[in-house]
Structure 1
Amino acid sequence: MTQAGWGGALGLLLAAGVILSWVGLPRHRQVALVDRIEPYLDRAPRRSRLLALDDPQPWRLADLLRPLTGRLGRALDRALGGTDSVRARQQRAGLQVDVDGFRVQQVLWGCLFAAAAVAVATGWWWLRGANVVALAVLVGCAFLGGVVARDALLSRAAHRRERQIMAEFPSIAELLALSITAGEGTAQALERVARLSRGELAAELDLCLAEARLGAALPDALGGLSQRTGLPAVARFTDGLVVALQRGTPLGEVLRAQAADAREVARQDLIEQGGKKEISMMIPVVFLVLPVTVLFAVYPGVTMLRVAL
């Protein structure tokens, strides 16, 4: 097919897309039964516009794309699977568990990456006449890259929050040990620490106490904290609190020991990170500093040899 034929085909596709988008606008759709009946029903008093903080728009692009993105998200979930992994990582990242919404975000990221690939492929095709099949494969790989990038971003958010929790854990454990040693009960100590502390772990403790106030047993709420974080140190911490609540065993020394263990683990992590940084710092030393040093050391001798010859 000639370039004129390809241009005509692309023009027809663009015209068909514009027509379908225009026909699919809300004002061109058929009136639903609910909208027909609603004027004949009793309505609540109309609120003042001064109290309306969020004035809904008559239609938005997200509302138009929601059915399509929802179907694509469900299809992506069936193709990829891993619903339990996504749910666990959302809990570890401190996000609301919404697997369907996450799949829709993956589809949108894939579409953005694919749109960028389409723009690059179109320019490449017009300038050099590349193979259409290869360009289609490029667009498909870009879509998959967007999906994987959103998944990696969720994993990174989960790991970042876990590091924050582990950094806060020794201080929280020591504060609890201090409160319990001073004579307070486990529940009262948790309330005091959650009220006076700030951070991710303090927010989790506050959530456990809120669940307990709503009627859940405090040991069950602490078990939910262990499941949401997924950290072994926090799991041991909550198990100790549950045992203390159920059997009335002393917790001061146990919490201090757990805080010391957590600080030791943090120290080991810092040593490991320092070792990795030391290796990465060898790259500029070997490939930049060392060649320049050798050049400054050798070049005067070579110059003198040339002069002597």
Structure 2
Amino acid sequence: MSTLVWGALLGGVAGAGLLLVGLRVSVLRRPRLADRVLPYVRDLPVRDHAAVLRPASSSPTTAAAGIFGPVLRSVADLVERVMGGSSSVRRRLQRAGLDRTVQDFRVEQAVWGLVGFGAAAGLSLLRALGGVGGVGSAVVFCALGFVCGVFLRDNRLSTQVKNRERQVLTEFPTIAELLALSVAAGESPVSALDRVVTRSHGALSEDLAQVLARIRTGEPVGPAFESLAASTGLPIVARFATGITVAMERGTPLADVLHAQAADVREAGRRLLIETAARKEIAMMAPVVFFVLPVTILFAFYPGVLGLRLTTP
């Protein structure tokens, strides 16, 4: 068959596949019968009430898992057996503030890997139609595409962790100062924490909201903050939680502790800014030396060289 026929065939198959995926996603996005009937039967006892009220996720990964669930789970199990590190993934998911399990993350890795595999397979097919490359190189290229997709999702998770920790460091001085002001005004630590959590929004506020939820369910204040210190990946937040615990156990003035920790974080941020500026100073010299300086020399000497050529007999 000619290239035109191959192109028409591939386009038709791709269009049919996209149509089927779109139809399936539209079906998954429809409200379930239980959600439509629930407002009329709220007074009846429901055992799985929280599960019924949970909104259905509409992310592409969830839609793909609903369509190709068994295949994706098999690929996710394979990725888990090859890569391992479930405890590290679980900790990074917790530090990134993502409400997902390790299995959900492995499914996402499988989806990213299959997308990379499909892109590599498409490029290999185009090369084969052009008469370039062989079967062995195409298989290796597709395998590399799958591996790159899997590692890109893992790298994306690490990036999410770093971004969230950067947000926590940015919010920490303000949150600590607000807690110190509330405690100095006469409120208890739990009341001050409730006031700050309800009036602030951000990554650190979400972590403190989880601590407040543990306290309200009956857990003592000290162990609740100790769990925050154990789960966070930032030494500053760990010292903050440990300082609150020690201040409440030994009777140390909590407001002074919070003010001192906020000042320490601001000083650490100032030092980091100075160090970053010192590193960027060397990098900023490259365009000056290699681009601005040669142009300046050219503008300074070219008229003189041109004048010497005109006056020389």
Taking structure 2 as the reference length, the TM-score comes to: 0.77
Q: Work out the CA distance in 2 between the residues paired with 1:55 and 1:259.
A: 40
The residue type equivalent to 2:187 in the other structure is E
| Kept after mapping to 2: 8 A contact 1:162/1:229 | no
Where does residue 236 of structure 1 map in the other structure?
A: 239
Q: Once the two structures are aligned, what percentage of the paired residues are identical?
A: 44
Distance 1:243 1:122, change over 3 A: same
Alignment correspondent of 1:114: 117
2:27 aligns with: none
Corresponding position: 1:93 with 2:83: no
- What's the RMSD between the two structures over aligned residues? 3.3
Determine which of 80, 84, 109 is the counterpart of 1:77. Answer: 80
- The residue type equivalent to 1:218 in the other structure is V
Letter in 2 for 1:259: A
Tell me, yes or no, if the aligned pair for 1:106 and 1:146 is still in contact at 8 Å. Answer: yes
Mapping of residues 42-191 of structure 1, within 5 Å? 47=37, 62-191=65-194
Encode CA deviations 1:158-184: one digit per residue, 9 max, x unaligned.
111101111111111122222222332
Q: Which amino acid aligns with 1:219?
A: G
Measure the CA separation in 1 of the matches of 2:293 and 2:128. Answer: 45
Q: Which one has the largest radius of gyration? A: 1
| Aligned equivalents of 2:124, 2:277: Cα separation in 1 | 43
Distance 1:87 1:65 in 2: 24
2:214 & 2:220 partners in 1: Cα distance?
Answer: 8
Residues 184 and 255, structure 2, Cα contact 8 Å, conserved in 1 = yes
Write the distance in 2 (CA, Å) between the matches of 1:63 and 1:173: 43
For 1:162, give the aligned amino acid.
Answer: E
Give, as a single letter, the amino acid of the residue that structure 2 aligns with 1:117. Answer: A
Consecutive unaligned residues in structure 2, runs of 5 or more? 25-33, 42-51, 58-62
- Give the direction of change, closer, same or farther, for the CA distance of 1:115–1:223 in structure 2 (3 Å limit): same
Q: 1:227 aligns to what SS in structure 2?
A: helix
TM-score, structure 1 normalization: 0.78
2:265 to 262, 266, 286: 262
- Structure 1 ranges of 4+ moved more than 3 A: 48-56
Unaligned 5+ residue runs, structure 1?
A: 27-43
Q: Distance in 2 between matches of 1:181 and 1:232?
A: 25
Aligned pair count reads: 272
- Alignment partner of 1:248 is 2:238: no
2-side partners of 1:166 and 1:303: how far apart? 59
Amino acid at match of 1:89: R
User: Is 1:195 aligned to 2:213, yes or no?
Assistant: no
The answer to whether the 8 A contact 1:112-1:146 is kept is yes
CA contact (8 A) 1:110 1:145 kept: yes
- Asked if 1 retains the 8 angstrom alpha-carbon contact of 2:248 and 2:254, the reply is no
Change in 2 beyond 3 A, CA 1:253/1:55 = closer
Superposed CA deviations along residues 274-307 of structure 1, whole A, max 9, x for unmatched, are 2333333233223322222222122212212322
Change (3 A) 1:136 1:287: farther
When residues 242 and 140 of structure 1 are mapped into structure 2, their CA distance, relative to the original with a 3 A threshold, is same
The answer to whether the Cα contact below 8 Å between 2:65 and 2:107 also exists between their aligned partners in 1 is no
Which SS does the other structure have where 2:68 is aligned? helix
Q: Specify the alignment match of 1:289 in structure 2.
A: 292
- In the alignment, what sits opposite 1:40? none
- How far off its partner does 1:66 sit? 0.8
Contact 1:241 1:251 in 2 (8 A): yes
Q: Secondary structure at the match of 1:249?
A: coil
| TM-aligned CA deviation for residue 192 of structure 1 | 2.0
Deviations along 1:18-57, whole A, 9 cap, x unmatched?
9xxx9xxx9xxxxxxxxxxxxxxxxx9x83899999899x
- Distance in 1 (alpha carbons) for counterparts of 2:90 and 2:154: 12
